[in-house]
Each structure stands twice: as C-alpha cells, then as structure tokens.
Amino acid sequence: MAKLLSKIPDSIALPAGFLLLPIGTILLPLLPELGVPLTLLATRFLGRKFQWARRFNTWVDNKWSNLRTRFKSGRRADHPKLFKWILGTLFIVTTWQVLGLALTFLLASFFDLDVDLLFSTADEDLAAIRALPAWSSAATILISFLPLFIATLLAYRIFLKKDIKSLFTSRNKYSYKRTWIGFASLALISIAFGSLDLILNWDSYTFSFKASAFLPYLLIAFTLLPIQTTAEELFFRGWIQRWLDNGKKKQWSISILSGAIFSLPHLANPEVAGNELFFPIISYGATGFMLAWVTYRDQSLELAIGAHFANNLLAALLVSSQDSALPSVSLLTVPEVPWGPAALFSVIMVPIFIWLTNRWGAKAY
C-alpha cells in the first residue's frame, strides 16, 4: 500500500490531503475507526511538503496502534493453513449447490412451481412470478440457503478444528442484544432515508399491500429469511473474512476485499440484469464493506447478522422492486431499483451505521 501511495503525484496527493484532513479530523473523536485512517492518509500526503503534517501523522499513528490492539486478545493466534480453507470452501460451495438445488426442486415440486421460471431474469417471466403466491415462491428460493448455513458450520468444525461459537463471536457468550442493535441501527437508517425518498418521489411508488398474501408470508419472513441472511453472514463475514484476516492485512483492506467478494454473487440478481454494473457494485460493495468493518472491529458477527436480516426484511415487507430476486408482499413497490440513488444511500449509510453500532453496541456488554 505504501508503494502504491508513493506513486501518486503531488498534484493529486496534496489537494487530496487538504480535502481529507478536515474530514478525518472531525471524525477522530466521533468515529475513530474511520477518522484515524483518513487522517493518516491525509497527513501522509501532506507530509511530502509540510513538517507539521509528518508530526501529526506520527501522533495519530500512535493512537491508531492502540485502537488496532483493542481486540487483539480476540484474534486468532493460529491462523489455519491455506489448503484447509480451500478444502473447506469447496465443501461449502459444493454442499450448498447440490443440496440447495435438491431442496429447491423438492419444494417446487410440492408447490407445483416451475424452477426455471423462479430463477429467470426475463421480463415476461418476472411478471409470471409475481402472479404466483409470494410465500411459496419465497420459501422455494430461501430453502436453498439451509445447506449453506449447515455446511459453513460443519466446515469450520471439521476442516479448521474450531469451536463453532468462535465463528459467531470471539467473546465468551453470544450477545443477542447486539444483534438487535445491528437490526435496529440499519432499520432506523433505512426507514429514515426511505421516508425522505417517499416524500420526494411519491409518484414512483405503488401501494401493493394485500392482507391475504401478507399473513402467510410473515411465517416465511421470520423463519427462512433469517436462515438466508445468517447463512450469508457465516459464509462471507465468518468463513471468507476469517481467511482474509491473517493478522497481516489492515482493517481497510480486509473490509474492501470482503465487500467486493460479497458484491459479486449479488450481481446475478434479476434487479441488476440489463443495468450498468457500476452502481450495483458500489451499492452491494458498500453494504458488504460496512458489515465487514463492524465484524472486524468487534471480532463478532452479532451486528452484521442483525443488520443483514433488517435489510432483507424491510425489502420483503415494506418496499420492494418488481424485478426483485426475492418474491415479496411489500407494502409499496417501485418498477425497478434506482441504482444511482441506491448506491449513494449505501455509501452514506456506512459511516452512520458504524457510528451508531459503536455508540450503542458498547453498552451491550
């Protein structure tokens, strides 16, 4: 990273330093996890010309070292060898695909649903999917994540020889309170911004609530949906991020890599089809970065599990797009995902969520 930064010319580095320094300085007391790295980057750029910047960089770096060792006791001292992660990943993905498809076909047969139709991204097929009972379609799709949930737990135990509890948290006991804090934080931010968008773009929304379809869907939303979101967290933030976190990479690089990996499979969702990939990558990547950041910070999946469930639950019950990957019975619908505003919201949400969970989460222990 140092070599890469040194290659940036002064004509870019110095203006960037002056731009980032006040932002980082303001965030230092409010959100040190973001403020310190931003300030370090800014003073590194400005230190090329100014001695005061180099001194400030040294002072902040000492503070950053203390922050980085905050959870050192919870980090793994014996990072498993690479081949164990590779074998475990193959086991997880293979089990997920084989058994997941088997369960999907089994449930589709039970509900007399066309599996090819459920996973199609064609506009005419999406219209046909919306005509099906949402609860049975959603159940058929979500049941495929049960093998992912189980396989990740088994891989952690069999291949890494680790206690399953340590996959969820590095502390002595899992905190359900912190899971609710993650849920409440993301729900609060999403509802606040969503309400603002509803006011500004009322004509884009269609009231689509149907009580007869809503009630049976609630059973799916509170049983299979948390399995899906928790399974993704176990795999992306639990399994893959634990592999990335070898004790050598910094929080920024791990969070960026984890966010990028998280975004890739989501680009196959129907709502992304036919769109430029830039904004969807930013949207999914920012969300993945945010969840990876708090997971690294706390050495725990508690917040991420709650936040991921809140995100998907709100999409299923409050506002959804007509081309959504998951059939829903939401109160309001939009024709398609407005990816530009969605990406902007995801980026803005990152520091707010990190700050809220840091402020509220500290009181949960």
325 phi and psi, to 5 degrees? Answer: -65, -25
Q: Are residues 79 and 65 in the same domain?
A: no
pLDDT at 318: 93
Predicted local confidence at residue 92, as pLDDT? 96
Q: Which residues are bridge partners to 320 per DSSP?
A: 333
Q: Indicate whether 93 and 147 sit together in one domain.
A: yes
Give the pLDDT score at 364.
Answer: 62
What are the counts of helices (DSSP H) followed by strands (DSSP E) for the chain?
18, 3
Do 137 and 37 sit in the same domain of this protein?
no
Residue linked to tokens 């089990």: 95
167 with 301: CB under 8 angstroms? yes
CA distance 285 to 258: 8
Residue 192 shares a structural domain with residue 288: yes
For residue 75, the SS3 value is coil
How far, in whole angstroms, is CA 184 from its chain's centroid?
Answer: 15
Same domain assignment for residues 35 and 179: no
Residue-by-residue pLDDT tens, the chain, 365 positions: 566 667 788 888 888 888 888 887 877 766 566 678 888 888 988 988 899 989 888 888 886 655 554 444 444 445 677 788 889 999 999 999 999 999 999 998 888 887 776 666 565 555 666 667 788 889 999 999 999 999 999 999 889 888 888 899 988 889 999 999 999 999 999 999 999 999 999 999 999 888 888 888 999 999 999 999 999 999 999 999 988 887 767 888 899 999 999 999 998 888 887 778 899 999 999 999 999 999 999 999 999 999 999 999 999 999 988 778 777 888 999 988 899 999 999 999 999 999 999 988 766 65
- Give one DSSP letter per residue of 310-347, joined into a string: HHHHHHHHTEEETT-SS----SEEESS--HHHHHHHHH
Alpha helices for 233-277 (secondary structure H): 241-244, 251-266
Model confidence pLDDT, tens digit, residues 254-308:
999 999 999 999 988 888 877 788 999 999 999 999 999 999 999 999 999 999 9
Same domain, 11 and 102: no
Decide: 199 and 117 in contact? Cβ < 8 Å: no
Which of 40, 55, 70 lies at the terminal end of a domain, its last residue? 70
pLDDT recorded at residue 197: 92
> What integer pLDDT is reported at residue 12 of this predicted model?
80
Are 104 and 169 contained in the same domain? yes
When divided into structural domains, the chain yields a total of 2
Q: Where do we find the tokens 């998907």? A: 312
47 and 168 in a common domain: no
Q: Which of 27, 45, 70 is the last residue of a domain?
A: 70
Q: Are residues 188 and 44 in the same domain?
A: no
Query: Domain limits at 146?
Result: 74-364
Do 171 and 315 fall into the same domain?
yes
- Cα–Cα distance list, 185 to 60, 100, 191, 308, 332 (Å): 29, 31, 10, 11, 22
**End of a domain among 42, 70, 98?**
70
Same domain, 281 and 307: yes
pLDDT of residue 232: 97
Q: Are residues 90 and 31 in the same domain?
A: no
DSSP 363: G
